[in-house]
């Protein structure tokens, strides 16, 4: 790794090379974080091409730029989050809330278990007494996440 003496010897180009190394490292360790620190290093290098700045102030500038670029990166990538169907990708039961299905197997006694078919999956359901073939709406999910709570439509 580059030491402080290397930065002093290489000057502006040391910062630029370090920034390019960090940006390249982002390709091998993806996570969209090293690239922002790399941009901060490159920015310090570009400023050092225009102005000769003592090493201590270069480190202060680098710290400020690193925080600034990281915040910009968070704004850029934070906007990519979605609250749509992708938010419940690994919570299939939660994604079924509000949907209507036909009972495959009756719910014989209130609170007993019946069954509904959702695409190619059969789900256990609990609700009031209902015959097979009745339409039910999913209103919740059990704590264990494998039984749906339903009500008649």
Q: For the segment 77-92, what is each residue's pLDDT rounded down to a tens digit?
A: 765 555 555 555 567 8
17 and 71 assigned to the same domain: yes
Distance CA 26, CA 38 (A): 9
pLDDT for residue 55: 82
28 and 93 assigned to the same domain: no
Domain count, the chain: 2
Q: Which H or E run contains 143?
A: none
20 and 69 assigned to the same domain: yes
Q: Which domain holds residue 118?
A: 88-152
pLDDT for residue 79: 57
Q: What mean pLDDT do residues 14-38 have? A: 85
20 and 73 assigned to the same domain: yes
71 and 96 assigned to the same domain: no
52 and 10 assigned to the same domain: yes
Dihedral of the alpha carbons of 26, 31, 35, 40, in degrees to the nearest 10: -140
Q: What mean pLDDT do residues 99-109 have? A: 88
Q: What is the pTM assigned to this prediction?
A: 0.49
pLDDT for residue 142: 86
pLDDT for residue 42: 94
Q: What mean pLDDT do residues 33-53 have? A: 90
Q: What mean pLDDT do residues 7-30 have? A: 83
C-beta of residue 152 within 8 angstroms of C-beta of residue 136: yes
- 83 occurs within a structural domain: no
- 112 occurs within a structural domain: yes
68 and 96 assigned to the same domain: no
The DSSP-derived string for 48-97 is HHHS---HHHHHHHHHHHHHHHHHHHHHHHHTT---SGGGGTT-HHHHTT
73 and 106 assigned to the same domain: no
pLDDT for residue 88: 53
């Amino acid at each position: 790794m580059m030491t402080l003496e290397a930065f002093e010897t290489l000057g502006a180009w040391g910062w630029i090379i370090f920034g390019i190394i960090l940006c390249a490292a982002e390709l091998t360790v993806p996570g969209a974080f090293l690239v922002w620190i790399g941009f901060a290093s490159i920015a310090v290098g570009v400023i050092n091409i225009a102005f000769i700045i003592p090493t201590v102030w270069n480190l202060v500038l680098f710290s400020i730029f690193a925080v600034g670029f990281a915040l910009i990166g968070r704004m850029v990538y934070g906007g990519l989050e979605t609250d749509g169907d992708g938010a419940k990708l690994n919570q299939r039961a939660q994604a079924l809330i509000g949907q209507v299905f036909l009972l495959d197997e009756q719910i014989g006694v209130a609170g007993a278990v019946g069954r509904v078919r959702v695409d190619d999956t059969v789900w256990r359901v609990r609700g009031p007494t209902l015959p097979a073939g009745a339409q039910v709406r999913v209103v919740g999910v059990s704590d264990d996440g494998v039984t749906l709570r339903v009500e008649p439509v």
